[in-house]
């Protein structure tokens, strides 16, 4: 018994000592990963192939709950206890911990041309090569087309506004007695796209965050009204606090929702859970006076500066980032490619479902229409501070704890307070 | 008393652990005898305390000190030496209120909402926890069939993890959950429990009582069983009414155990976090967001992990808990006197 | 029941004073007692049973309202001329007759169906005029999929190791400390007791970061020790054991001293066996705490070979997707060991706590 424990505690030190002396020196890389669907399995398949081609490197995929990526990983990285690679979503926020792989990559040109704008998300203040997007996401709505057909209501076409959709979905819901006409993910990121469509600028002239303006207020007011008049159910946004994420994917899949504002990442799941039970249809982002835009986003796989094997990390990343591997990865996972070449040339997605095919095309096609403001916001290091302030305070207004004006004031204060704390050195 | 049967259970366990343990203790004997000879019997208690104190110092006392120093610093750095010293500024933020009764006027509105929510929660939770534990203990103390089984039934949820408890109930209370199916089947409308602040608080309290009641019931049951039967027999001979017996004999003799239950439930109530967090997420709005959740969010979930402010809040909580535990000390003292 | 109404004034009295049952016929308080207990069984076990039943449903069946009691799955049948098995529906045809048909495909709000007995001809049925034909079927894939993806035995092993070792360490050092505090009078004892009690109930949640720093500086990150050691010196355990040891008669200890027993021998030969009921309670609590611990292991264990069950089983929880069918199934998996321990040790646990209590 005690032998096991001694072994456990001494593992790292012993492993180091032994591997130095042994002839078959193998470098072990640790990749911290989280799963929304099957991407972990696809990645494992790729890693197996990499290991076959590079017997001197072994890669271990450590799958953690997403909670650990958001809450524990930053502390681990700050303490110097992080893994060698990780899949992260706080792209700019963790920038200081990323490994710049430029010196270890032979063809940096390929990385620049393939991942140009996304490299900027990972390193807003420099031009390092830190990693690539495991998926690009675009926010946008899905509608239950079958319900529209059954109700005999015409679906709003191209250029339709949020108000057009609100009217239409209410009509459908009323005719068919559907409980929830419209649902949005509970997320500041999701609200930001439509707010920008309404004219929100998000930043002032100097580029400092300025969350509350007339554009944002226009969208916030609508969301507030929709919750009061029953267009949206308080159930989703009202039932948790703070910045907790909640989706309406189950309600939508159960045909309880006519229109669902979410994003491209729902596709693989809808293809599986809804299948052909009804036509779930991705539609282009509805319009406001300023734009017809969703928010870009996504997760990235990055190398981490704390690694003892930067060269091997770069070798693995460079191999994974090649078109062949990425095409397979995106194709199997049904993720929107975060690789410019593949986005243009098209990835052959591994699905027979016409709804999924259509949704993938719609979201991929929405990328050019994304407002520059949305790109700036996504690339801004502290964007999660803004998203969290937006959703948590707006939510407190919707459930009646604050007035909208108080909520606007609190949002601004929250952002100022947090940024001031961060600035303090 | 039940001392006899405990003795045998104890023996059974001891023999179960058996030889290897005895061997270990015996092997350590010469070492400790040598120490005793070296430092004298008078200092031996410190030797017995040493291992515990080392762990305690490393993983409780030291972190508490670090935590206190965190609360005097700002910024987002992890290591204390990298963080700028800012005195009591963080405490100033927490206490920055125009009117303490109205969280809306406070700089850290959620801190104060957390405090008020916690107070409401523990008031109802402790009251009903004691009430239902008492009723259950009284019932289990009757001469009933299969008492062991029923005692076990009420205790079972105590073993479940907070996350599991919350998931079980969340699954029941969802809009399309089985409770709403039941309401619809008897002709009522569905209730969206987690949208209403009152319902959310109700279920937060209900679920925590459900999960912990068994433990307190056992403590009270032990108290009930320790009451000498001849007291009841004497009362019966005097023709005392059963009501009077309850108020004059049962309750006073049970009081020490009641006090332990109340104080323990209070302390547990102040710490409430993961159960409710998984169940209601602290919502709707901030209706069930408690003080520990505020600390956790401030230090962990926010993008700017504000260890300073979180630590300041936890120092405030720590002081409150200290006062409560001192109350327990006083309570148990009194119990020993009885 | 009318009897109960007639004697309602005795209701409270009867219940409150009742310590002994009545001889012979059932008194109404007995009826109340068994009703209360029956309701208790339903309330305490019902939710858990519902969880277990639900965990065997497919993800689409979980979304249904009203939920079915038992897990059901749609019947699929092999029809001549089609390679894949087709889902079976009960369709109401235009002439009002009801027939079991297999669906070929659905287009918009119409579905194309065939009669399994007459596969040549396709029939158009509006989708709202057909219902699935289902049978009892357990969705074992809810369990199989996640368990196949993980190294389940490894996590189980880690969890068992953590639980067992942590409990042994806790029992040893806590009982030693409790012995020191209960048996001896010495300067500083009051201060130590104050320290123990003062920190009795500090939740680890609020000192997570400082404890992490300590553990990091000791180089224990990603070893099981990081989970085992920090919680070992529980003030609760010391307090509980000490209070119990105070009740041990001093004569026994004095007698042992007369026999020239060493202090260590008195501890393990005299006091420890007598404190067994309290030790058992602490053991149970320790097992419970360690087995159920989630937040702390999540922070200090980030390599899959050292994951405990709680961390491993939650690893499928993604950013954007709540998969109830997996959550429910994995919750059941974590429940099983606790329930088994409880089933075997139930009597022991409850009497142990009742007799040692929090004295």
How would DSSP label each residue in A8-36? HHHHHHHHHHHHHHSSS--EEEEEEE--S
In chain B, where the domains are located = 19-56, 109-337
Residue A29 above 70 pLDDT?
yes
Residue bearing tokens 């039941």: B182
In chain C, where the domains are located = 2-54, 72-136, 143-356
Q: How far is B102 from chain A (nearest CA, A)?
A: 12
- Residues of B within 8 A of C354 (CB-CB) are 2, 218-219, 221-222, 225
3-state DSSP assignment of residue A257: strand
Decide if A284 contacts A292 (C-beta within 8 A): yes
Give the mean pLDDT of C338-357.
68
- Residues of B within 8 A of A178 (CB-CB) are none
pLDDT tens-place string over residues B73-98: 988 888 888 889 998 889 999 988 88
> Three-class SS string for B154-197?
HHHHHHCCHHHHHHHHHHHHCCCCHHHHHHHHCCCCCCCHHHCH
Give the mean pLDDT of B128-152.
88
Give the nearest partner residue to C109 out of A4, A34, A146, using CB atoms: A146
- Residues of B within 8 A of A385 (CB-CB) are 302-304
What pLDDT does residue B13 have? 54
Reported as a pLDDT band with limits 50, 70 and 90, residue C318 is: low
C205 touches chain A (CB under 8 A): no
What pLDDT does residue C5 have? 40
Please state, in angstroms and rounded to a whole number, the distance separating the CA atoms of residues C117 and A4.
64
B308/A406 CB distance under 8 A: no
Q: Sign of dihedral through CA atoms B240, B244, B250, B253? A: negative
Q: How far is C121 from chain B (nearest CA, A)?
A: 39
pLDDT tens-place string over residues C228-242: 999 888 888 898 888
Tally C-beta pairs within 8 A across A and C: 125
pLDDT tens-place string over residues C100-146: 888 877 665 677 788 888 877 778 888 777 887 777 777 788 888 87
Please state, in angstroms and rounded to a whole number, the distance separating the CA atoms of residues A89 and A81.
19
Q: Which of residues 396-425 of A touch C (CB under 8 A)?
A: none
- Residues of C within 8 A of B66 (CB-CB) are 210, 213-214
Reported as a pLDDT band with limits 50, 70 and 90, residue C25 is: low
A255 touches chain B (CB under 8 A): no
- Residues of A within 8 A of B199 (CB-CB) are none
Please state, in angstroms and rounded to a whole number, the distance separating the CA atoms of residues A163 and A97.
43
Main-chain dihedrals φ then ψ at residue A142, nearest 5 degrees: -115, 145
Between C62 and A149, residue with greater pLDDT: A149
**Chain B: residue nearest A393 by CA?**
B285
Give the mean pLDDT of A162-169.
95
Between C265 and C134, residue with greater pLDDT: C265
Residue bearing tokens 């005392």: B240
Please state, in angstroms and rounded to a whole number, the distance separating the CA atoms of residues B278 and B160.
14
Give the nearest partner residue to C20 out of B143, B160, B271, using CB atoms: B143
Between C138 and A87, residue with greater pLDDT: A87
Reported as a pLDDT band with limits 50, 70 and 90, residue C11 is: very low
pLDDT tens-place string over residues B243-287: 888 888 888 888 878 887 887 788 788 888 888 888 888 878 889
A5/C216 CB distance under 8 A: no
DSSP bridge partners of B222: none
Closest CA to A190 of A241, A237, A151: A237
CATH of domain C143-356: 1.10.3720.10
Rounded to the nearest integer, the mean pLDDT of chain A is 88
C63/A253 CB distance under 8 A: yes
What pLDDT does residue C58 have? 81
Main-chain dihedrals φ then ψ at residue C107, nearest 5 degrees: -125, 115
Question: CATH topology for B109-337?
Answer: MetI-like fold (1.10.3720)
**Chain B: residue nearest C277 by CA?**
B10
Decide if C265 contacts B27 (C-beta within 8 A): no
B297 touches chain A (CB under 8 A): yes
What pLDDT does residue A5 have? 42
Give the nearest partner residue to B161 out of C238, C264, C292, using CB atoms: C292
Closest CA to C74 of C92, C61, C93, C56: C61
What pLDDT does residue A13 have? 41
Q: Which helix (H) or strand (E) holds A85?
A: strand A85-88
Question: Could you give the angle at which helices C28-54 and C8-17 cross, rounded to 10 degrees?
Answer: 70
B327 touches chain C (CB under 8 A): no
- Residues of A within 8 A of B116 (CB-CB) are none
User: Full-prediction pTM beyond 0.90?
Assistant: no
A238/B289 CB distance under 8 A: no
DSSP bridge partners of A161: A287
CATH of domain C72-136: 2.30.30
The domains of chain A, with CATH numbers, are: 21-136+297-345 (3.40.190.10), 137-296+362-423 (3.40.190.10)
What pLDDT does residue C320 have? 57
What pLDDT does residue C29 have? 78
Q: From residue C210, how far is each of A196, A425, B299, B310, C213 by CA, in Å?
A: 41, 20, 11, 12, 5
């Amino acid at each position: 018994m005690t032998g096991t424990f001694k072994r456990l505690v001494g593992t790292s030190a012993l492993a180091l000592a032994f591997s130095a002396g042994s002839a078959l020196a193998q470098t072990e890389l640790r990749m911290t990963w989280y799963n929304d669907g099957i991407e972990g399995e696809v990645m494992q398949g790729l890693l197996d192939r990499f290991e076959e081609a590079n017997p001197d490197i072994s890669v271990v995929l450590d799958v953690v709950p997403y909670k650990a990526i958001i809450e524990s990983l930053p502390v681990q990285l700050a303490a110097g206890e992080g893994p060698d690679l990780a899949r992260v979503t706080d792209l700019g926020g963790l920038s200081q911990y990323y490994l710049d792989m430029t010196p270890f990559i032979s063809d940096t040109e390929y990385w620049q041309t393939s991942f140009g704008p996304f490299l900027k998300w990972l390193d807003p203040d420099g031009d390092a090569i830190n990693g690539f997007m495991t998926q690009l996401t675009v926010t946008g709505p899905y509608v239950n087309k079958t319900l529209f057909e059954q109700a005999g209501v015409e679906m709003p076409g191209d250029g339709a506004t949020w108000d057009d959709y609100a009217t239409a979905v209410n009509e459908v819901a009323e005719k068919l007695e559907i409980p929830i006409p419209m649902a949005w993910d509970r997320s500041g990121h999701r609200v930001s796209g439509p707010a920008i469509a309404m004219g929100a600028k998000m930043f002032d002239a100097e580029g400092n965050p300025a969350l509350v303006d007339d554009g944002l207020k226009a969208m916030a007011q609508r969301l507030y009204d929709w919750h009061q008049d029953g267009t949206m159910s308080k159930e989703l946004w009202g039932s948790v606090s703070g910045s907790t994420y909640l989706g309406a994917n189950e309600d939508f899949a159960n045909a309880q929702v006519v229109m669902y504002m979410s994003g491209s990442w729902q596709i693989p799941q809808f293809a599986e859970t809804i299948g052909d039970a009804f036509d779930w249809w991705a539609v282009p982002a509805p319009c406001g006076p300023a734009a017809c835009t969703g928010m870009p986003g996504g997760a990235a796989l990055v190398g981490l500066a704390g690694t003892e094997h930067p060269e091997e990390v770069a070798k693995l990343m460079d191999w994974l980032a090649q078109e062949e591997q990425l095409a397979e990865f995106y194709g199997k996972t049904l993720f929107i490619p975060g690789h410019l070449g593949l986005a243009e040339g098209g990835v052959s997605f591994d699905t027979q479902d016409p709804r999924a095919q259509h949704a993938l095309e719609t979201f991929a096609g929405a990328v050019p229409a994304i407002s520059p403001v949305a790109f700036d916001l996504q690339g801004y290091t502290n964007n999660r501070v803004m998203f969290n302030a937006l959703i948590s305070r707006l939510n407190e207004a919707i459930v009646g704890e604050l007035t909208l004006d108080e909520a606007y004031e609190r949002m601004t204060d929250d952002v100022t307070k947090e940024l001031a704390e961060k600035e303090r050195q | 008393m039940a001392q006899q049967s405990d003795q045998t259970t104890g023996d059974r366990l001891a023999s179960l652990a058996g030889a290897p343990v005895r061997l270990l203790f015996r092997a350590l004997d010469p070492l400790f005898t040598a120490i005793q000879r070296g430092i004298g019997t008078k200092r031996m208690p410190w030797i017995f305390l040493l291992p515990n104190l080392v762990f305690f110092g490393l993983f409780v006392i030291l972190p508490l000190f670090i935590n206190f120093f965190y609360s005097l610093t700002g910024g987002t750095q992890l290591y204390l030496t990298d963080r700028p010293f800012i005195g009591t500024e963080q405490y100033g933020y927490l206490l920055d209120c125009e009117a303490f009764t109205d969280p809306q006027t406070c700089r850290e509105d959620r801190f104060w909402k957390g405090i008020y929510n916690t107070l409401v929660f523990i008031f109802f939770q402790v009251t009903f926890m004691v009430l239902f534990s008492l009723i259950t203990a009284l019932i289990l103390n009757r001469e009933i069939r299969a008492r062991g089984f029923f005692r076990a039934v009420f205790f079972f949820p105590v073993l479940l993890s907070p996350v599991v408890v919350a998931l079980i109930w969340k699954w029941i209370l969802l809009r399309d959950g089985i409770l709403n199916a039941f309401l619809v089947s008897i002709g009522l409308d569905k209730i969206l429990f987690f949208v209403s602040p009152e319902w959310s608080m109700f279920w937060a309290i209900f679920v925590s009582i459900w999960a912990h009641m068994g433990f307190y019931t056992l403590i009270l049951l032990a108290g009930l069983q320790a009451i000498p039967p001849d007291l009841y027999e004497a009362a019966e001979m005097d023709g005392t009414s059963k009501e009077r017996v309850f108020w004059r004999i049962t309750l006073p003799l049970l009081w020490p155990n009641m006090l332990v239950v109340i104080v323990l439930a209070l302390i547990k109530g102040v710490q409430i976090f993961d159960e409710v967090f998984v169940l209601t997420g602290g919502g709707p709005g901030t209706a069930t967001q408690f003080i520990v959740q505020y600390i956790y969010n401030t230090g962990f979930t926010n993008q700017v992990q504000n260890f300073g402010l979180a630590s300041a809040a936890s120092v405030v909580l720590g002081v409150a808990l200290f006062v409560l535990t001192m109350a327990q000390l006083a309570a148990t003292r009194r119990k020993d006197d009885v | 029941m009318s009897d109960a109404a007639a004697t309602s004034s005795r209701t409270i009295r009867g219940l409150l004073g009742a310590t002994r049952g009545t001889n012979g016929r059932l008194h109404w308080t007995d009826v109340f007692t068994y009703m209360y207990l029956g309701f208790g069984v339903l309330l305490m076990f019902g939710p858990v049973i519902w969880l277990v039943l639900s965990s065997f449903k497919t993800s689409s069946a979980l979304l249904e309202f009203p939920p079915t009691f038992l897990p059901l799955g749609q019947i699929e049948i092999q029809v001549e001329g089609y390679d894949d098995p087709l889902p079976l529906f009960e369709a109401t045809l235009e002439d009002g007759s009801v027939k079991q048909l297999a669906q070929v495909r659905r287009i918009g709000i119409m579905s194309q169906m065939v009669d399994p007995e007459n596969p040549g001809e396709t029939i158009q049925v509006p989708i709202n005029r057909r219902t699935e034909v289902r049978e009892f079927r357990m969705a074992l894939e809810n369990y199989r999929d996640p368990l196949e993806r993980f190294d389940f035995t490894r996590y189980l092993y880690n969890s068992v190791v953590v639980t067992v070792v942590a409990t042994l360490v806790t029992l040893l050092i806590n009982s030693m400390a409790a012995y020191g505090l209960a048996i001896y009078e010495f300067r500083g004892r009051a201060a130590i007791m104050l320290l123990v009690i003062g920190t009795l109930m500090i939740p680890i949640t609020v000192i997570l970061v400082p404890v992490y720093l300590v553990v990091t500086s000791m180089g224990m990150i990603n070893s099981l020790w990081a989970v085992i050691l920090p919680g070992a010196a529980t003030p609760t355990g010391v307090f509980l054991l000490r209070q119990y040891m105070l009740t041990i008669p001093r004569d026994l200890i004095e007698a042992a001293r007369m026999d020239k027993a060493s202090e260590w021998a008195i501890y393990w030969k005299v006091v420890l066996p007598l404190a067994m009921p309290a030790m058992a309670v602490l053991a149970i609590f320790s097992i419970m705490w360690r087995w159920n611990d989630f937040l702390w292991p999540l922070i200090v264990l980030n390599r899959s070979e050292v994951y405990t069950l709680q961390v491993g089983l939650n690893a499928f929880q993604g950013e954007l997707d709540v998969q109830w069918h997996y959550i429910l199934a994995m919750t059941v998996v974590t429940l099983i060991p606790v329930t088994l321990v409880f089933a075997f040790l139930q009597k022991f646990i409850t009497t142990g706590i009742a007799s040692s209590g929090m004295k």
